[in-house]
Structure 1
Amino acid sequence: MTFLPPQSSESRSTRLKLAIGGLVLGTTLGASAATLAQSEDYPSKPVEFIVPWSPGGGSDTLMRLISNHAEEYLGQPMPVINMPGVSGTTGLKALSKREPDGYTVGQIHEGLLVAHHTGLTPLNWDDFEPVAAVTQSPQYLTVNADSPYTTYEEFVDYAKEHPGEIRFGVTLGGVPHIHAAMMEEAEGLEFRYVGFEGTGSRIRALVGGHIDAAIGDVSSSGEFVKNGDLRFLAVGSAERQEETPDVPTFSELGHPELKLNIVRGLIAPKGTPEDKIAVLADAIQALSEDEDFIQEVKNAGAQVHFEGPEAFADYLETTDETIERLSGKLAK
């Protein structure tokens, strides 16, 4: 018969500690695995997409193209929810109050920055998590086809001879407002501003003759130009656009500083986890390489312009500094 030596209390204590340590380690590893599995399952339900503008405008048209293709690359639908109001800030205020769980995103462009620096909202771009820039849209000086000016030079001459008479449709405190103010400064003009919520409503007003000029784009105004209802006088891109080869750039007309462009992208509530931001950004990057999507965006008068979270944040920060400098011109 073999006898085992009696175990000391110290030995029993050591074995007990090792057993407990192994149990804790196993539990921790199990929790980590569960967290990883949960992250890999994201998204497991639709991701709501708040577009803070009215249906029919440039932002709505382009964001619906993203929505139409999102499920193929994200694995879940991304239904658009229009929340217009107060120059695009109503929907973004709602977005800022959503849970940062990755299941709500919103659309942003330079308009939020303008609204912030003109006092319309305390929110700014850095109150959210940038996800990705997706499109850019050259902006046009647009007038009614029945207007007495057929060229940019004639428009400027008329505006100088009739200060304060041209009814210029803008989104008050928005990007079109600051674009128009840039034109005023460049040419020494004075417009009478009329406010609208979104591009669609002001372009319809321009077609109806209720205003004399507006900032438009191909997606909202191109068909009206083709039909002979409206006329493009100048475009704010660096080069003439393929869709409108006869429309000169502001640079050609002697004003290279008039760079009128809108970059649209996605943001998420502050605090949304980085891994979920990365999943969203990767899906948008894959979408940006889809030839069908590229063509649809082009047909809508814009261009695909992808930037990831960091690059998009850099763009917003730089643009914010410019808008802060110019925003004082809107206080009138």
Structure 2
Amino acid sequence: MKHTRIALASAAALMMTLSACGGDSGGGSGGAYPSEDMDWTIAFGPGGGNDIMARTMVDILQRNDLYPENIRVENRDGGSGATGWGYLLNQAGEGYGISTTSGSFITTPLQADTGWEPTDFTPVGLLAADNALMIAAGDAEFQTYDEWVDYATGKGSVVVGGIGTVNVDYIIQQMVADAEGYEIEYVPYNDEGQMQTSLLSGAIDTMISNPGSIMGQIEAGQVTPLLFTGPERLEALPDVPTGEENGVSDLPSMPRGLILPPDAPQEAQDWWVETMQEVVETEEWQAYLDENFLLEDERWGEDFTTYLDETQTAFEEQLTELGAL
């Protein structure tokens, strides 16, 4: 009887070991994916469009109990996003790091030795396109786009700001300047708050911002919108003209997407694609799109990689034409 109990105990232990080994997937220990805390990187400082989107996603995941463990969110800004995405790059092969994308994710590798390209990362999906506003201080001497053009062409050269060095914000500022015939000195920022402070202090003349991150200040009269880059005027800002209306065509939008580290386990990519497809169907996500004036644009998995590759080629051509590359 004693030998029988020992044999049964040994068999049970062996079955538990095999079960644990068979269930350990997704680049970590502790069972089927996901079974660990998630390390969520925001590659820019607080307050901007990337930060708002990331924290909205995390809130939806947690409110709806979609991620079974904790999600640690940290802003790792610097180098036009290179610091944050470089941090994610160092988690290659793992399934417990993640980050949101922006225009800098595509443009930064074009002008800096980042050690990575957008297509190196494991794609989850493109979720939305974020158009932008050109913004002036509320007490600036120019309060409409036409007044801005008169001011800028009269001075010949103006100081303007945006998030990132050679980024969508820079492209917009330079394309408008070229179309209207004035020169710019472009000042890059890593965070929206610093840029707004510079605008309100008069250190820069205009800045680029996304409607979702600046609308409160517009409503408060602290800043004034001059131009919108989207295809049609915003219902919330019916008096603000578009670039198209002023002969500035093909202004780029900000791609809002989600990526995992390079070579992330297949089960991790599959889980995040399926889960984010649930997230974008929630009322909370639809409210976020509406409140932040984003256009729905969904491309999952390898379709997102194809989009990144094609968009980077287009941005490289634009930046070369503008003399930035």
**Does TM, normalized by the shorter one, top 0.5?**
yes
Q: Which residue of structure 2 lines up, in the alignment, with residue 244 of structure 1?
A: 237
Aligned CA RMSD, in angstroms, stands at 2.4
CA offset digits 1:146-191 (Å, max 9, x no partner): 2222221221222112112x21012322221122122222223211
Corresponding position: 1:256 with 2:249: yes
> Are the equivalent residues in 1 in contact too, given 2:136–2:226 (CA < 8 A)?
yes
Q: Please tell me whether residue 53 in structure 1 is matched to residue 44 in structure 2.
A: yes
Q: Is the 8 A contact 1:70 1:78 kept in 2?
A: no
Q: How does 1:287-302 map to 2 (within 5 A)?
A: 287-302=279-294
Measure the CA separation in 2 of the matches of 1:177 and 1:200: 18
Amino acid paired to 1:159:
A
Using the TM superposition, give the Cα deviation of residue 217 of structure 1 relative to its aligned residue in structure 2, in angstroms. Answer: 1.5
Is the 2:95–2:268 Cα contact (8 Å) retained in structure 1?
yes
Q: How does 1:131-146 map to 2 (within 5 A)?
A: 131-146=124-139
Q: Which residue of 2 aligns with 1:187?
A: 180
1:318 equivalent in alignment to 2:303: no
SS class of match (1:204): helix
The match for 1:92 is 85
Unpaired runs of at least 5, structure 1? 1-26
Contact residue 80 and residue 190 of structure 2 kept, 8 A = yes
Q: Which residue of 1 aligns with 2:8?
A: none
Amino acid aligned to 2:257: G
Aligned residues: 302
Superposed, 1:168-317 pairs within 5 Å as 168-170=160-162, 171-258=164-251, 260-317=252-309
The TM-score, its normalising length taken from structure 1, stands at 0.83
List alignment gaps of at least 5 residues for structure 2: 1-13
Task: Output the CA distance in 2 between the equivalents of 1:282 and 1:65.
Answer: 18
| TM-score (normalised: structure 2) | 0.85
Is the contact made by 1:74 and 1:280 (CA closer than 8 Å) also made in structure 2? no
- What is the alpha-carbon distance in structure 2 between the residues aligned to residue 310 and residue 38 of structure 1? 22
Deviation at 1:321, TM superposition (A): 0.5
CA positional deviation for 1:244: 2.1
Counterpart contact for 2:25–2:267, Cα < 8 Å:
no
CA distances 1:258-287 after superposition (whole Å, capped 9, x unpaired): 2x3211111111111222101111111100
- In structure 1, C-alpha distance between the alignment counterparts of 2:138 and 2:312, rounded to whole Å: 35
Contact residue 109 and residue 264 of structure 1 kept, 8 A? yes
Give aligned-pair identity as a percent. 26
Asked whether the 8 Å contact 2:175–2:248 carries over to 1, the reply is: no
Distance change (3 Å), C-alpha of 1:70 and 1:230: same
The structure with the largest alpha-carbon Rg is 1
